[in-house]
Amino acid sequence: MSTNKTFLALVGLVTLAFAWVLWPLFGALFWGLTLAIVFAPLHATVLTRLGGRRNLAAVTMIFGLLVGVILPMLLIIAAVVQEASALVAAISSGVVDLQGLAQQALAELPLWARGLVQGLIPKDLLGLQHSLVVSVSLWLGANVPLVFSIGQSTAGLVMGLGVTLYLVFFLFRDGESLTKHFTAAIPMPPEVRADLLSTFTTVVRATVQGDIMVALLQGALGGFGFWVLGVHAVLLWTVLMSILALLPVFGAALVWAPVAVYFMATGHVVEGVGLLIYGALVISLVDNLVRPYLVGKATRIPDFVVLLSTIGGIASFGVQGFITGPVVAAMFIAVWRTFLAQK
C-alpha cells in the first residue's frame, strides 16, 4: 500500500515537472492541439481519400494549413502592423490632429449638446495624444511579431510555428492511438471517460469555430462598410473589429459606433446614420444568427461567462486567451454537467 502511494506521488511529481518544462511552449502546444481538433473532420476525409496513408494525409494537412491559414495570417499581421505604424506616425507628426478633429466635431454639435460634450474632452488633448502615441508604439514593439525583421523575434516566431506544425503532424498521424493511451490512463469509468472526451472535442471545435468564424464575419462586414465610406486604414479597423467581436454583447460596436458618431459630429449625418443602421441591423445581428448554427445550443455558454472568461484568459495567457478562456469555461460547465449527471 505504501509502495503504491509512493509510486503515485512519483508519477504526480514527474508529471508536474514535465508540465513545467513545457510551459514556455504553452502557446505553440495550445494552438497545435486546437488546430488538430478543429481540423480533425477534414483530416478524416483526406485520410479516406488517400487510402488510409497516414503520413501522406498528415503532410497534406500540414501543407494545407500553411497555405490556407498560417501564411495568409502572417501576411495580414504584416499589413496591419504597417497600417498601424503609419497611423501612429501620422498622429505623431501632426498630420492627424486629434485636437483639431475634436474641435471640429464640437463645433458641429447643437448648443445644448456642446457644453455637455465639452466637459468630457480632456483639456490637455495634445498631452493625451503624445501619451497615446508612445503607448501604442511600445505595445506594437512588445506584442506584435516582427515578421520581416532579423534577430531573436524572427527566430522565436519560426520556432513557435515549427513546434505547432510538428505537434499537429503527429496528432494527425497518431492522434487516434495517442487518445486511446491517454484516456486509458484516466482513473474514471469507461463510459464517463468517453463522454468527457466527446464533450471536450465537441466544445473545443464548436467554441473555436463559432467564435472565430463569427468574429471574422463581423470584422469583414464592418471593414466593408468602412471601405464604402472611405475610412482610412480599413484593414487595421477590420482586424480590430474581428478581435473585439470575440467579446459578447458589444464587441465590434466598440469600433464602428464611435466612427458613426464621429461622422455625424463632423457634419456627415447621412454616412453616420447609415453606419449606425448597418452596424445594428447587419454587423451585430450576425452574432445572434450565425453563432447558434456554428456553436449549437448544447455547447453555447452564457454571454457573461464568455466575457469574464475572455478577459481572464487574456490576463492569464496573453493573445491566445481570447480562445483559451472561453474553451476552459465551456469545459468547466461540461465537466460539472457530467459530474452532476453521475450523481
pLDDT in tens, 177-211: 887 777 777 777 777 777 777 777 777 777 777 77
Residues 214 and 148 in one domain: no
> Which pLDDT does position 281 carry in this prediction?
86
> Which pLDDT does position 152 carry in this prediction?
41
Answer whether residue 65 is part of any domain: yes
Report the number of distinct structural domains present in the chain. 2
How far apart, in whole angstroms, are the C-alpha atoms of residue 13 and residue 233? 52
All three cell numbers of 83, joined, read 497600417
Answer whether residue 16 is part of any domain: no
Q: Which residues of 263-279 are buried (b: 16+ CB within 10 A; e: fewer)?
A: bbbbebeebbebbbebb
> Which pLDDT does position 61 carry in this prediction?
92
Answer whether residue 97 is part of any domain: yes
Residues 254 and 225 in one domain: yes
Residues 134 and 207 in one domain: no
Whole-prediction pTM = 0.68
> Which pLDDT does position 155 carry in this prediction?
60
How far apart, in whole angstroms, are the C-alpha atoms of residue 169 and residue 156? 20
> Which pLDDT does position 106 carry in this prediction?
60
> Which pLDDT does position 63 carry in this prediction?
92
Answer whether residue 3 is part of any domain: no
Answer whether residue 13 is part of any domain: no
Residues 31 and 140 in one domain: yes
Q: Which residues of 184-214 are buried (b: 16+ CB within 10 A; e: fewer)?
A: eeeeeeeeebebbeebbebbbbbbbebbbbb
How far apart, in whole angstroms, are the C-alpha atoms of residue 69 and residue 123? 46
Residues 29 and 151 in one domain: yes
Inter-axis angle of helices 190-229 and 321-342, nearest 10:
150
Contact 306, 246 (CB under 8 A): no
> Which pLDDT does position 149 carry in this prediction?
41
Residue stretches of the chain with pLDDT short of 50: 1, 142-152
Q: Which residue has the cell 504597417?
A: 82
The residue among 128, 162, 185 that closes a domain is: 185
The residue among 137, 157, 185 that closes a domain is: 185
Task: Calculate the CA 266 to chain-centre distance.
Answer: 33
Answer whether residue 66 is part of any domain: yes
Residues 113 and 190 in one domain: no
Residues 124 and 177 in one domain: yes
Residues 78 and 164 in one domain: yes
Answer whether residue 343 is part of any domain: yes
> Which pLDDT does position 146 carry in this prediction?
42
Residues 181 and 198 in one domain: no
CA-based nearest residue to 175, from 39, 36, 53: 36
> Which pLDDT does position 101 carry in this prediction?
61
Residues 152 and 221 in one domain: no
Residues 41 and 155 in one domain: yes
Answer whether residue 232 is part of any domain: yes
- Domain hosting 173: range is 22-185
The residue among 185, 200, 235 that closes a domain is: 185
Residues 202 and 267 in one domain: yes
> Which pLDDT does position 151 carry in this prediction?
38
